[in-house]
Chain A
Amino acid sequence: MRRPVKYGILGGITMSFLAGIGMVESFADRMLIDPVLNMGYLVLYGIVAVYGNMAARSEPNPLEEPSYEKGSSALAGLMTGLIAGLGAAIFVVLVDSVDMTRYFPNFRPELVEVMTFGLELIPGLVALIAVSGAAGAVGAVVLGLEASRRHRVAATVGWVLGFALFQVVVTDILDIAPALARVFYAPLGGLEWYMAVIIGAVAYFLSGRSKGKAKSVIETVRTAERWSGVRWSVYAFAGIALLLPWLVLGGIVNELLINVFLYVLMGLGLNIVVGYAGLLDLGYVAFFAVGAYGTALLTSSLSPTVTPELSWWVALPFVVGLAAIAGLLVGTPVIRMRGDYLAIVTLGFGEIVRILLLSDWLVPYFGGSQGIRQIPGIQVGPWEVSGVDPQYFVYFAAFFAGLAAFISYRAQNSRVGRAWAAMREDEDVAEAIGVSTVKAKLLAFITGAVVASFAGALFSAKVGAVFTNSFDVLVSLIILVVVIVGGMGSIPGVILGAFVLIGILGGPKSPGLLAEFSEYKLLVYGALLIYMMLKRPEGLWPSARRSRELHADELTQDAWLDKGGDFVSDGEQGAPA
Chain B
Amino acid sequence: MLSIHVTTPPTTERSSSRRFRFNWVDSFLWFIRIFAIITIVVGLTGSIQGFLAGEGPSVEQWRDLFISSVSTGAMYGLIALGYSMVYGVLGFINFAHGEVFMSGIMVGWISATLMFENGFWDANPFAALAVILLVAMFTSTLVAVVVERIAYRPLRNAPRLIPLITSIGVSFFLQYVFAGLFGVGVNSYPPPPGNLGNDVIIFGVPIEGTKILVIGVSILAMIGLWFFVARTKTGRAMRAVAEDKEIAGLMGINVDRTIVTTFAVGGAMAGVAGLLWALLFRGVIFTTGFLPGIKAFTAAVMGGIGNLPGAMLGGVLLGLFEGMGPLLVLDGLGIPAVSQLKDAVAFAALILVLVFRPSGLLGERLGSEDRV
- Decide yes or no: A529 and B169 within 8 Å by CB, A105-B183, A355-B343, A520-B176 being known contacts: yes
CB of A166 closer than 8 Å to a CB of B: no
CB of B144 closer than 8 Å to a CB of A: no
The docked-state distance in angstroms from the alpha carbon of A339 to that of B175 is: 25
Contacts of B18 in A (CB 8 A): 436
Q: Find residues 334-357 in chain B having any chain A CB closer than 8 Å to their own CB.
A: 335-337, 340-341, 343-344, 347-348, 350-351, 354-355
Contact present for A352 and B347 (CB under 8 Å): yes
The docked-state distance in angstroms from the alpha carbon of A358 to that of B341 is: 9
- Decide yes or no: A333 and B92 within 8 Å by CB, A436-B18, A529-B168 being known contacts: no
Q: Mark A419-451, 1 if CB is under 8 A from B, else 0.
A: 000000001100110101011000000000000
Interface segment out of the listed B153-161, B254-262, B306-314 = B153-161
The docked-state distance in angstroms from the alpha carbon of A334 to that of B351 is: 9
CB of A20 closer than 8 Å to a CB of B: yes
A340, closest chain B residue (CB): B93
Contact present for A345 and B354 (CB under 8 Å): yes
Query: B117 CB to closest chain A CB, in angstroms?
Result: 10
- Decide yes or no: A343 and B93 within 8 Å by CB, A103-B110, A348-B350 being known contacts: yes
Contact present for A477 and B172 (CB under 8 Å): yes
CB of A526 closer than 8 Å to a CB of B: yes
Q: Find residues 163-179 in chain B having any chain A CB closer than 8 Å to their own CB.
A: 163-166, 168-177, 179
Contacts of B343 in A (CB 8 A): 351, 355
CB of B63 closer than 8 Å to a CB of A: no
Contact present for A360 and B168 (CB under 8 Å): no
Partner of B168, one of A21, A349, A428, A477: A477
The docked-state distance in angstroms from the alpha carbon of A332 to that of B370 is: 22
- Decide yes or no: A341 and B354 within 8 Å by CB, A360-B337, A432-B6, A534-B154 being known contacts: yes
CB of A392 closer than 8 Å to a CB of B: no
Partner of A431, one of B6, B151, B158, B355: B6
CB of A335 closer than 8 Å to a CB of B: yes
State which size class the interface on A falls in: 35 or more
CB of A527 closer than 8 Å to a CB of B: yes
Contacts of B230 in A (CB 8 A): none
The docked-state distance in angstroms from the alpha carbon of A333 to that of B32 is: 8
The docked-state distance in angstroms from the alpha carbon of A477 to that of B166 is: 12
Partner of B2, one of A336, A344, A528: A336
CB of B4 closer than 8 Å to a CB of A: yes
B14, closest chain A residue (CB): A434
Contact present for A530 and B169 (CB under 8 Å): yes
Contacts of A432 in B (CB 8 A): 6
Contact present for B350 and A103 (CB under 8 Å): no
Query: A342 CB to closest chain B CB, in angstroms?
Result: 9
- Decide yes or no: A428 and B169 within 8 Å by CB, A21-B181, A335-B25 being known contacts: no
CB of B182 closer than 8 Å to a CB of A: yes
Contacts of B348 in A (CB 8 A): 348, 352
Contact present for B32 and A340 (CB under 8 Å): no
CB of B180 closer than 8 Å to a CB of A: yes
Contacts of B337 in A (CB 8 A): 359-361
CB of B74 closer than 8 Å to a CB of A: no
Contacts of B164 in A (CB 8 A): 280, 339-340, 343
The docked-state distance in angstroms from the alpha carbon of A432 to that of B370 is: 19
Contact present for B160 and A523 (CB under 8 Å): no
Contact present for A21 and B180 (CB under 8 Å): yes
B147, closest chain A residue (CB): A530
Contact present for A431 and B5 (CB under 8 Å): yes
CB of A484 closer than 8 Å to a CB of B: yes
Task: Specify the main secondary structure of chain A where it touches its partner.
Answer: helix
A437, closest chain B residue (CB): B5
- Decide yes or no: A530 and B173 within 8 Å by CB, A340-B161, A344-B294 being known contacts: yes
Q: Find residues 555-574 in chain A having any chain B CB closer than 8 Å to their own CB.
A: none
Q: Find residues 1-50 in chain B having any chain A CB closer than 8 Å to their own CB.
A: 1-6, 14, 18, 21-22, 24-25, 28-29, 32
CB of B146 closer than 8 Å to a CB of A: no
Contacts of A278 in B (CB 8 A): 161
Contacts of A427 in B (CB 8 A): 3
Contacts of B179 in A (CB 8 A): 21, 523
Among A335, A527, A528, A533, find the residue whose CB has the most chain B CB atoms closer than 10 A.
A533
Contact present for B177 and A523 (CB under 8 Å): yes
CB of B301 closer than 8 Å to a CB of A: yes
CB of B113 closer than 8 Å to a CB of A: yes
The docked-state distance in angstroms from the alpha carbon of A349 to that of B370 is: 25
Contacts of B173 in A (CB 8 A): 523, 526-527, 530
CB of B223 closer than 8 Å to a CB of A: no
Query: A481 CB to closest chain B CB, in angstroms?
Result: 8
The docked-state distance in angstroms from the alpha carbon of A514 to that of B78 is: 41
CB of B235 closer than 8 Å to a CB of A: no
A442, closest chain B residue (CB): B25
- Decide yes or no: A361 and B170 within 8 Å by CB, A522-B175, A523-B176 being known contacts: no
The docked-state distance in angstroms from the alpha carbon of A530 to that of B96 is: 12
Q: Find residues 513-548 in chain A having any chain B CB closer than 8 Å to their own CB.
A: 520, 522-523, 525-530, 533-534, 537
The docked-state distance in angstroms from the alpha carbon of A550 to that of B344 is: 37
CB of A207 closer than 8 Å to a CB of B: no
CB of B358 closer than 8 Å to a CB of A: yes
CB of B297 closer than 8 Å to a CB of A: yes
CB of A106 closer than 8 Å to a CB of B: yes
Q: Find residues 317-372 in chain B having any chain A CB closer than 8 Å to their own CB.
A: 335-337, 340-341, 343-344, 347-348, 350-351, 354-355, 358, 370
CB of B123 closer than 8 Å to a CB of A: no
Contact present for A347 and B294 (CB under 8 Å): yes
Contacts of B93 in A (CB 8 A): 340, 343-344
Contacts of B6 in A (CB 8 A): 428, 431-432
Among B170, B180, B351, B370, find the residue whose CB has the most chain A CB atoms closer than 10 A.
B180
The docked-state distance in angstroms from the alpha carbon of A436 to that of B341 is: 37
Contact present for B351 and A349 (CB under 8 Å): yes
Q: Find residues 458-498 in chain A having any chain B CB closer than 8 Å to their own CB.
A: 477, 480-481, 484
CB of A356 closer than 8 Å to a CB of B: yes
Query: A555 CB to closest chain B CB, in angstroms?
Result: 15
Contacts of B168 in A (CB 8 A): 477, 480, 529
- Decide yes or no: A526 and B340 within 8 Å by CB, A348-B350, A349-B351, A534-B155 being known contacts: no
Contact present for A360 and B340 (CB under 8 Å): yes
Contact present for A526 and B350 (CB under 8 Å): no
The docked-state distance in angstroms from the alpha carbon of A23 to that of B176 is: 11
B109, closest chain A residue (CB): A103
Contact present for A349 and B301 (CB under 8 Å): no
CB of B213 closer than 8 Å to a CB of A: no
CB of B219 closer than 8 Å to a CB of A: no
- Decide yes or no: A530 and B170 within 8 Å by CB, A355-B340, A361-B335, A537-B158 being known contacts: yes
Contact present for A280 and B161 (CB under 8 Å): yes
Contacts of B182 in A (CB 8 A): 103-105
- Decide yes or no: A341 and B25 within 8 Å by CB, A480-B168, A529-B168 being known contacts: no
Contact present for A522 and B351 (CB under 8 Å): no
Contacts of A340 in B (CB 8 A): 92-93, 160-161, 164
Q: Mark A247-285, 1 if CB is under 8 A from B, else 0.
A: 000000000000000000000000000000010100000
Contact present for A438 and B354 (CB under 8 Å): no
Contact present for B181 and A529 (CB under 8 Å): no
The 10 closest A-B pairs by CB, nearest first: A21-B180, A529-B169, A526-B172, A526-B173, A348-B347, A523-B176, A360-B337, A105-B183, A530-B169, A533-B166
Interface pairs (12), CB distance under 8 Å: A23-B180, A338-B3, A344-B297, A355-B344, A361-B337, A431-B6, A434-B14, A480-B165, A522-B175, A523-B180, A530-B170, A537-B162
Q: Contacts A355-B344, A533-B165 given; 19 further ones with Cβ under 8 A? A: A103-B110, A332-B29, A336-B2, A343-B161, A345-B350, A348-B294, A359-B337, A360-B337, A428-B6, A432-B6, A522-B175, A526-B175, A526-B176, A527-B173, A533-B155, A533-B163, A533-B169, A534-B154, A534-B155
B positions within 8 Å CB-CB of A: 1-6, 14, 18, 21-22, 24-25, 28-29, 32, 92-93, 110, 113, 150-151, 154-155, 158-166, 168-177, 179-183, 294, 297-298, 301, 335-337, 340-341, 343-344, 347-348, 350-351, 354-355, 358, 370
